[in-house]
């Protein structure tokens, strides 16, 4: 019998970084910026948080509240800077978005691994990782009711606070995009910046704010991964290809963060499904299971283009720089 | 006139075509600035003087004959993948799936070496490898191309996803064909019989690769600039509507170009497996599929300039690797430097395409 009670919480913690990454990327893409730097930004977000909490833990007397706020602040700052860099290059200097994004990913992954490696050296540990257990405990504190509430408690209440924040952020972004004037303007910028400009919307401002906010949300995904999912253990390259999976999730949810809440848990489940296949089966098949999230994404991408419903399409000017004097 | 109208501090307008030497002067200036920035950062991190840092970079690429050959080999492979993505890019079809297409090409080559190695003579195996790799790469590119041409599916995202499907497929076969058992890696294929290994020219292990890529480079230049197909690609890239109006079958051009793109990626995979490594791993392409996007774009999609840009990227990569080992930093420092340099060059394109007019100081306008 497949053990759903232990599977679902693991799928959820696996899904939360993807949810944060894809919410950030959706917000970014709605402004017409295809930010392929998300994997790099998530790395930078994670390592910035790690750096912050590393020095705080080193300084002695650890208290939980600053122990949470310092990494959180560092993470937001690090990913904000990456978002600003991307915006400066693509919006102000109108550089090619694909190239900028890929360069940002190269830079971000290198940045993460370099400072990760340096901190490991500094801590003088024999293992190739940094362990921040105090900070992680603070991040992982769940409601005391979780253990008393039985199955419901394990499935719904057993996560650290960032998981709930992630769901709230996703729902908020969905609400802002679809139900507010700001969201309407933002979507207009992503669909047709010429029209938006003519209507008096400040295109650059919207692009900057959406992309930087999106980067900060995605950076939180990196932080959640290190502090909560990985119990405060940073090892180089451990984050893996989750950043790309987050971009896949954006397509899978057809640019809707509220759908993303459940879809990210589904992706998390698909990502770890290979650990749950019956033992005795060929080991190689595990590798094929890891393909699932990507195959599912491709199918969704193809189906949504086949059905050609207008509300399921990518923003029309996705990936294009806007220059007012160009017609 | 209305004195309250504020003149902005500067405004930006599009430039006409800059002469090529001016454009390249701007790029060279950006590169120089980038190198200065990298030198300063490295000195800050390591405490070494910058001259030593630059010496280490050069030493990393040109320090010994072996290093030079490795440099040339890496340039050739990166150039090959960059050449592969270029026709698609000229058509404004963002093929980000070069990584996967090259991997699948490599997988096909390895499959021929392993499965046919015992039954067929060496030359027949090599012939099979060539056909299989090119076909596999082309097929991998054709899947997104057909959907793009027929239903306008977003090719950037589709090809990106195909990379990971290819990676997992290779991971699967790595376990299926593992040797020795339980290692989870393939190891060197046919180590004793050397069946399916490409011949060496003289004593130079990498010369064959370099020559093949050089030929592909020239051929691609001619194909893109002097053939009817190349012209059609350019027209589709400039404006799909114009292309349709003058009677070019756009969907056919898209599929044909992506097939070519995938086949050249497959060639890169073939060379990596058959000629360089004689093995297959999931990381054999080593991110070249993504680096190639930058190489191709930096060279303005011109195959000849690509030799220069791929040299630049490989040179920096190897140089910063040398810095890392020499000064006891970790290897990822190279990625940081490469990223920094790319930001500078990406930024410099702005000054090539646009010009800034500052508000005339003192004079009251409007």
A298/B162 CB distance under 8 A: yes
Is A172 part of a structural domain of the chain?
yes
CA B215/CA B271 separation, integer angstroms: 14
> Domain limits at A152?
4-312
- Classify B189 as helix, strand or coil: coil
CA B299/CA B313 separation, integer angstroms: 12
Does residue A314 contact residue A305 with C-beta atoms inside 8 Å?
no
Q: State how far residue B202 is from chain A, nearest Cα, in angstroms.
A: 37
CA B232/CA B243 separation, integer angstroms: 8
* DSSP label of A254: T
Average pLDDT for B54-81:
87
B290/A102 CB distance under 8 A: yes
Nearest 10 degrees: Cα torsion B236, B242, B243, B244: 130
Q: Which of the pair, B59 or B327, is modelled with greater confidence?
A: B59
Q: Look at phi and psi of residue B290 and say left if phi exceeds 0, alpha if psi is from -120 to 50, else beta.
A: alpha
String of DSSP letters for A161-221 = HHHHHHHHHHHHHHHHHHHSHHHHHHHHHHH-HHHHHHTT--HHHHHHHHHHHHHHHHHHH
Q: Which of the pair, B157 or A127, is modelled with greater confidence?
A: B157
Helices within chain B (DSSP H only) = 20-46, 50-62, 65-90, 98-116, 122-151, 155-176, 207-226, 228-238, 240-245, 250-270, 288-298, 303-326, 333-353
Residues 144-203 of B with CB under 8 A from A: 147, 151-154, 156-158, 160-162, 164-165, 168-169, 171-176
Rounded to the nearest integer, the mean pLDDT of chain B is 85
Which residues, other chains included, contact B192 with Cβ-Cβ below 8 Å and sequence gap of 6+?
none
Query: CA end-to-end span of chain B, whole Å?
Result: 6
Is A326 part of a structural domain of the chain?
no
* DSSP label of A34: -
Instruction: Cis check for the bond before B180: say yes or no (omega within 30 of 0).
Output: yes
* pLDDT score recorded for residue A56: 86
Is A321 part of a structural domain of the chain?
no
A244, A247, A291: residue with CB nearest B168? A291
A285/B172 CB distance under 8 A: yes
Tell me how many domains chain B contains: 1
Q: State how far residue A243 is from chain B, nearest Cα, in angstroms.
A: 12
Which residues, other chains included, contact A301 with Cβ-Cβ below 8 Å and sequence gap of 6+?
A251, B153, B154, B157, B158, B161
CA A79/CA A81 separation, integer angstroms: 5
The percent of residues in chain B predicted with pLDDT above 90, rounded, is: 28
Q: Which of the pair, B181 or A32, is modelled with greater confidence?
A: A32
Tell me how many domains chain A contains: 1
CA A184/CA B311 separation, integer angstroms: 46
Chain B CB contacts of A319 below 8 Å: 94, 156
Q: Please state, in angstroms and as integers, the Cα–Cα distance from residue A207 to each residue in A90, A255, A257, B346, following that order.
A: 10, 17, 18, 19
CA B147/CA A303 separation, integer angstroms: 10
Buried b (16+ CB within 10 A) or exposed e, B273-308: bbbbebbbbbebbbbbbbbbbbbbbbbebbbebbbe
Question: Is A111 an 8 Å CB contact of chain B?
Answer: yes
Q: Which of the pair, B191 or B130, is modelled with greater confidence?
A: B130
A233-234 and A130-131 strand pairing: antiparallel
Instruction: Indicate if the alpha-carbon torsion angle A29, A32, A38, A41 is positive or negative.
Output: negative
Is B342 part of a structural domain of the chain?
yes
CA A236/CA A111 separation, integer angstroms: 11
Question: Is B330 an 8 Å CB contact of chain A?
Answer: yes
Q: CATH number, domain at A294?
A: 1.10.3470
Distance of CA A191 to the CA centre of its chain: 23
Q: State how far residue A176 is from chain B, nearest Cα, in angstroms.
A: 25
How does pLDDT run across B356-365, given as a tens digit for each residue?
877 765 444 4
Interface confidence, given as ipTM, is: 0.85
B347/A89 CB distance under 8 A: yes
A114/B332 CB distance under 8 A: yes
B294/A99 CB distance under 8 A: yes
Residues 252-291 of B with CB under 8 A from A: 287, 290-291
Average pLDDT for B298-315:
88
* pLDDT score recorded for residue A20: 94
Number of H helices, E strands in chain A: 15, 2
Query: B337: closest CA among B347, B352, B322, B349?
Result: B322
Q: CATH number, domain at B194?
A: 1.10.3470
A302/B294 CB distance under 8 A: no
Q: State how far residue A22 is from chain B, nearest Cα, in angstroms.
A: 14
pLDDT at B2 over 80: no
Q: Look at phi and psi of residue B198 and say left if phi exceeds 0, alpha if psi is from -120 to 50, else beta.
A: beta
Distance of CA B139 to the CA centre of its chain: 19
Average pLDDT for B313-328:
80
Query: A95: closest CA among B344, B98, B233?
Result: B344
Backbone angles phi, psi at B201, to 5 degrees: -95, 115
Q: State how far residue B204 is from chain A, nearest Cα, in angstroms.
A: 32
Does residue A239 contact residue A43 with C-beta atoms inside 8 Å?
yes
pLDDT at B5 over 70: no
CB pairs A-B closer than 8 Å = 159
The percent of residues in chain B predicted with pLDDT above 70, rounded, is: 95
* pLDDT score recorded for residue B268: 93
Residues 128-147 of A with CB under 8 A from B: none
Is A133 part of a structural domain of the chain?
yes
Question: Is B294 an 8 Å CB contact of chain A?
Answer: yes
Is A24 part of a structural domain of the chain?
yes
A95, A285, A287: residue with CB nearest B347? A95
CA A54/CA A50 separation, integer angstroms: 6
* pLDDT score recorded for residue A172: 95
Show pLDDT as tens, one digit a residue, over chain A (327 residues): 567 777 888 888 889 999 999 999 999 999 999 888 999 999 999 999 999 888 888 887 778 888 888 999 999 999 999 999 999 999 988 888 888 998 899 899 888 988 888 888 777 767 777 778 888 888 777 776 666 767 777 777 778 888 899 999 999 999 999 999 999 999 999 999 989 999 999 999 999 999 999 999 999 999 999 888 888 888 877 777 788 888 888 888 888 888 889 999 988 888 888 777 766 666 777 788 888 888 988 888 888 888 777 777 778 888 788 887 775
> Domain limits at B305?
18-351
CA B365/CA B346 separation, integer angstroms: 34
Q: State how far residue A138 is from chain B, nearest Cα, in angstroms.
A: 30
* pLDDT score recorded for residue B365: 43
Does residue A39 contact residue A105 with C-beta atoms inside 8 Å?
yes
CA A195/CA A201 separation, integer angstroms: 9
Question: Is A109 an 8 Å CB contact of chain B?
Answer: yes
A233-234 and B10-14 strand pairing: unpaired
Chain B CB contacts of A295 below 8 Å: 165
């Amino acid at each position: 019998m497949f053990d759903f009670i232990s599977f679902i919480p693991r799928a959820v913690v696996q899904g939360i970084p993807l949810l944060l990454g894809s919410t950030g990327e959706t917000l970014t893409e709605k402004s017409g910026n295809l930010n392929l730097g998300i994997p790099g930004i998530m790395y930078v977000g994670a390592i910035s948080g790690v750096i912050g909490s590393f020095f705080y833990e080193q300084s002695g007397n650890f208290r939980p509240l600053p122990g949470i706020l310092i990494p959180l602040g560092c993470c937001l700052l690090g990913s904000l800077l990456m978002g600003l860099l991307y915006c400066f290059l693509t919006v102000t200097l109108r550089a090619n978005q694909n190239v900028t994004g890929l360069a940002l990913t190269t830079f971000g992954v290198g940045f993460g691994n370099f400072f990760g490696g340096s901190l490991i050296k500094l801590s003088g540990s024999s293992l190739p990782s940094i362990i921040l257990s105090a900070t992680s405990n603070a991040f992982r504190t769940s409601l005391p009711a979780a253990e008393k509430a039985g199955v419901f408690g394990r499935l719904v209440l057993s996560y650290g606070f960032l998981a709930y924040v992630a769901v709230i952020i996703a729902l908020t972004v969905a609400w802002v995009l679809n139900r507010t004037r700001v969201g309407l303007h933002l979507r207009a910028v992503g669909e047709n910046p010429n029209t938006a400009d003519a209507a008096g919307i400040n295109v650059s401002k919207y692009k900057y704010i959406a992309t930087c906010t999106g980067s900060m949300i995605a950076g939180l995904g990196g932080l959640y991964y290190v502090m909560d999912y990985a119990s405060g253990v940073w090892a180089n390259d451990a984050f893996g290809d989750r950043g790309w999976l987050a971009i896949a999730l954006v397509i899978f949810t057809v640019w809707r963060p509220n759908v993303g809440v459940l879809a990210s848990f589904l992706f998390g489940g698909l990502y770890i499904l290979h650990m749950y296949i019956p033992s005795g089966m060929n080991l190689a098949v595990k590798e094929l299971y890891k393909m699932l999230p990507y195959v599912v994404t491709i199918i969704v991408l193809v189906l949504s283009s086949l059905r050609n419903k207008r509300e399921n399409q990518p923003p029309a000017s996705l990936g294009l720089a806007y220059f007012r004097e160009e017609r | 006139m209305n004195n309250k109208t504020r003149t902005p501090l500067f405004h930006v307008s599009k430039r006409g075509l800059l002469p090529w030497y001016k454009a390249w002067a701007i790029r060279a200036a950006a590169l120089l600035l980038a190198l200065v920035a990298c030198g300063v950062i490295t000195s800050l991190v390591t405490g070494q003087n910058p001259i030593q840092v630059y010496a280490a970079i050069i030493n990393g690429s040109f320090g010994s004959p072996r290093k030079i050959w490795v440099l040339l080999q890496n340039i050739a492979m990166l150039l090959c993948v960059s050449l592969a993505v270029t026709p698609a890019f000229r058509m404004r079809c963002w093929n980000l799936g070069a990584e996967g297409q090259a991997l699948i090409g490599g997988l096909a080559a390895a499959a021929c070496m392993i499965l046919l190695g015992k039954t067929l003579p060496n030359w027949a195996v090599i012939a099979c490898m060539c056909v299989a790799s090119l076909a596999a790469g082309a097929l991998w590119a054709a899947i997104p191309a057909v959907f793009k041409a027929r239903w306008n599916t977003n090719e950037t995202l589709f090809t990106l996803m195909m990379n990971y499907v290819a990676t997992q497929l290779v991971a699967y076969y790595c376990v299926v064909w593992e040797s020795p058992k339980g290692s989870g890696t393939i190891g060197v294929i046919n180590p004793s019989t050397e069946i399916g290994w490409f011949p060496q020219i003289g004593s130079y292990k990498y010369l064959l690769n370099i020559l093949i890529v050089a030929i592909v480079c020239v051929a691609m230049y001619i194909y893109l600039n002097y053939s009817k197909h190349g012209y059609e690609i350019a027209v589709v890239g400039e404006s799909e509507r114009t292309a349709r109006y003058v009677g070019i079958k756009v969907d056919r051009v898209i599929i044909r170009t992506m097939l070519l793109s995938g086949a050249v990626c497959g060639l890169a995979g073939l060379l990596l497996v058959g000629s360089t490594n004689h093995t297959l791993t999931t990381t054999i392409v080593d991110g070249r599929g993504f680096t190639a996007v930058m190489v191709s774009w930096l060279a303005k999609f011109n195959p000849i300039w690509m030799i220069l840009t791929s040299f630049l990227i490989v040179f920096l990569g190897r140089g910063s690797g040398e810095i890392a080992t020499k000064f006891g930093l970790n290897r990822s420092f190279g990625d940081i430097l490469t990223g920094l340099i790319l930001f500078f060059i990406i930024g410099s394109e702005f000054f090539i395409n646009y010009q800034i007019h500052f508000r005339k100081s003192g004079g009251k306008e409007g």
